[in-house]
Chain A
């Protein structure tokens, strides 16, 4: 094997003949690619067209594969059946605050773990990372009890408090910041920059792809989080959009209104989908980086 490696290195021949370079093989691969693409596309397509159907077309057997008389009625009904817009705004506030807080706490802590040397650093860091693998359900009950005893159940703050810092963010920031050259930071220190200025004006811009990745990750997580708001919130006025969807589902169980529920599901998905599409390149690469380095 090692002989073969040397051979190939010595040969430096033409690039390896890649898989699928023959026409037939390539056609098969493209077919596979189309099938793979249909897996995410079909349910999303179904979500969109179902939201555009009339109730009678929606419950038609067999189903129609494209809406015959596309209408926005179902989408309008979703907004009037429950305070859906209000739910979107609640989600925006909750996910937005949590995202900003997580980015700040992770950048600061990640910087310390990446660039400071102190006793117990590794133990502390890996101890934190270990909590990343703790499913939130394990601490759900005591967390609720704590929030309630602080008098914060059924409030924005109660929904937010447990999600202002997370070990994944610290891990991601440290991995990316560790690659920055020490000399850069030392030079800034010799110039008399404060540590806070170094983090804010030098380090953070250099790891901005990682920060964007973290921000999107946290925003998506909070926007989609169902269990915690369900457990801690009681007033509809504070419901995030996923709890509004839950209400929509229970209001409209009968088949005639199912397309309103689907319209709600579509609207609730649009903000995170748009955010992802806008920043898709950075996001995918940042996540990939977190996996390789982990």
Chain B
């Protein structure tokens, strides 16, 4: 018996683990394929294939109103016309400003709110957290409607309140200098609660001892936050920044519903331009060239951010 077992072990190295491995692996090829294929096929067909198609269409002259067989290869012509069009360049600029303003406002504000709502002695902080999060589940369409009324001059509450304290309210949506930032404000309003929840979760991961240590070293609240808390929630902050970027780069609903890119092109964003070029003018090639440019921009930003994060970690 022993001898047979030994030769067996000699023939199959690692035998002691084999029983466990066999149980883990045995039935799996079939069920693995069966369980993975629905998700993989759906994501493959409706995400990966369209990415490839976007590239192909971007090199073609093709009206969406005609069948795919009318597709004609034109090389980089679409990129040439898109990247020299002042309106498209303006849309890229507006999108960058919109995204930058959203990130710059959202991340510090969410952090401050998270710190407040993480303070243990405060009663009712969970209710406030839920209230903040509630705006995330309200349809953007509804948010656009209520905020356009809050912004309204005359019967709108915001202008009334500002006038009451002696500030002359700007033309929130009608003044080209303000309109884009007015859209940023309700983007921040809608998304803030989600990020506060994420950051509070990050804060719960900071070991209590570190605060005590900092306190013994004589650090006050601000110093503790700056030197202990922020470095330790860096990953959460990074994630929040990234999500803000991804969410705000595709701003479409408020532009379509409220401003149609105006006044004076001040709220024309790249998502709005892509949808309009394709679905109103049928210019699928140019819309795709814009989409690819946006995609490339995102990849560049992603590479820069991850390189930066890696350097910080090292």
Interface residues of A (CB under 8 A from B): 1, 4-5, 7-9, 16-21, 26, 29-30, 32-33, 36-37, 39-41, 43-44, 46-47, 50, 58-63, 65, 104-106, 108-109, 111-112, 116-118, 128, 131, 133-146, 149, 161-162, 164-167, 170, 182, 186, 189-190, 195-196, 199, 220, 223-224, 226-227, 230-231, 241-242, 245-246, 249, 255, 258, 261-262, 264-266, 268-269, 272-273, 275-277, 280, 284, 287-289, 291-292, 294
* With contact pairs A4-B216, A143-B50 given, residues A63 and B250 touching in the complex (Cβ less than 8 Å): no
Complex CA gap A269/B143 in Å reads 9
Nearest Cβ in chain B — how far from A18, in angstroms?
Answer: 6
* With contact pairs A47-B146, A61-B155, A190-B23 given, residues A37 and B128 touching in the complex (Cβ less than 8 Å): yes
Max chain A CB contacts within 10 Å: which of B43, B137, B156, B294?
B137
B149 surroundings in chain A (CB, below 8 A)? 46, 50, 258, 262
Complex CA gap A252/B158 in Å reads 23
Complex CA gap A201/B265 in Å reads 56
A9 surroundings in chain B (CB, below 8 A)? 209
Stretch at the interface among B6-14, B86-94, B117-125, B176-184: B117-125
Which size class do B's interface residues fall under?
35 or more
A105 surroundings in chain B (CB, below 8 A)? 38-39, 42
Tell me if B307 is interfacial: C-beta within 8 Å of chain A. Answer: no
Given contacts A43-B189, A47-B146, 18 further A-B contacts (CB under 8 A): A17-B215, A33-B124, A43-B143, A62-B155, A63-B156, A108-B34, A108-B35, A108-B36, A128-B40, A135-B249, A138-B295, A199-B35, A226-B253, A231-B275, A231-B279, A246-B257, A277-B134, A291-B197
Chain B residues 241-280 with CB under 8 Å of chain A are 242, 246, 249-250, 252-253, 256-257, 270-271, 274-275, 278-279
B216 surroundings in chain A (CB, below 8 A)? 4, 7-8
- Interface code B44-57, partner A: CB below 8 Å = 1, 0 otherwise? 01111111011001
B36 touches A141 (CB 8 A): no
- Picked from B119, B128, B157, B236, the residue with its CB within 8 Å of the CB of A18 is B119
B249 surroundings in chain A (CB, below 8 A)? 135
A268 surroundings in chain B (CB, below 8 A)? 139, 141-142
B279 surroundings in chain A (CB, below 8 A)? 144, 231
Complex CA gap A1/B228 in Å reads 11
23 contacts between A and B (CB under 8 A): A5-B210, A8-B209, A19-B121, A26-B121, A33-B128, A37-B127, A50-B146, A116-B25, A137-B252, A142-B288, A144-B278, A146-B45, A146-B46, A161-B46, A195-B28, A224-B138, A226-B139, A227-B252, A262-B149, A268-B139, A272-B137, A273-B134, A287-B194
B250 touches A136 (CB 8 A): yes
Interface residues of B (CB under 8 A from A): 20, 23-25, 27-28, 31-32, 34-36, 38-40, 42-43, 45-51, 53-54, 57, 64, 67-68, 113, 116-117, 119-122, 124-125, 127-143, 145-147, 149-150, 154-157, 160, 189, 192-194, 197-198, 200-202, 204-205, 208-217, 221, 236, 239, 242, 246, 249-250, 252-253, 256-257, 270-271, 274-275, 278-279, 284, 287-288, 291-292, 294-295, 298, 302
B201 touches A288 (CB 8 A): yes
- Picked from A41, A109, A231, the residue with its CB within 8 Å of the CB of B35 is A109
A141 touches B288 (CB 8 A): yes
Nearest Cβ in chain A — how far from B160, in angstroms?
Answer: 5
B150 touches A46 (CB 8 A): yes
A4 touches B217 (CB 8 A): yes
